[in-house]
Amino acid sequence: MKLTKLRKRKKYIVHYSVSSQVTGAGQGIGRELAIGYASLGATVVCWDINKEINEQTVDEIKKISESSVYGYRCDVSDKDEVFKTAEKVRKEVGDVTILVNNAGIAPIQTFENYNTDEISKVINVNFMAHYWASIMFI
């Protein structure tokens, strides 16, 4: 067991051998989680569709912690890309013990104004992507 919950103190301890992977690490909740895991000593793998902001998160982690950190550009809604990138991670980083399926989109508009491509995109990013990444790391 890599993540230990101390019931009385309600605190999680992340051991040094943990590799956590966060999708959508470029900004928002994903970025904060990636930085949080790194500050607890975990090796962190950052994935985002946006290479530039993902690299900013990687650089920030390098500045504030001694944890190993890796960045990969990946569109989590693209099954083949997820499989390829996950293989790369396995070779270059090793096993991932915590997977955070965080990447998501929320285009806000009224239902009748969605086009079919947008509906597919929402389902692929917010739903199917969880399966593609989970299959590869479980």
Ligand X SMILES: NC(=O)c1ccc[n+]([C@@H]2O[C@H](COP(=O)([O-])OP(=O)(O)OC[C@H]3O[C@@H](n4cnc5c(N)ncnc54)[C@H](O)[C@@H]3O)[C@@H](O)[C@H]2O)c1
Q: Which positions touch ligand X (CB under 6 A)? A: 23-24, 26-30, 48-50, 53, 74-77, 102-106, 125
CA distance 122 to 110: 14
Q: How far is the CB of 6 from ligand X (least distance, A)?
A: 27
The tokens of 22 are what?
A: 């966060």
Q: Which lies closer to ligand X via its Cβ, residue 41 or residue 70?
A: 70
Cα 75 to Cα 34, 49, 51, distances in angstroms:
18, 5, 10
Q: How far is the CB of 130 from ligand X (least distance, A)?
A: 10
Cα 72 to Cα 110, 115, 119, 127, distances in angstroms:
34, 30, 26, 21
Q: How far is the CB of 122 from ligand X (least distance, A)?
A: 10
Q: Which lies closer to ligand X via its Cβ, residue 2 or residue 121?
A: 121
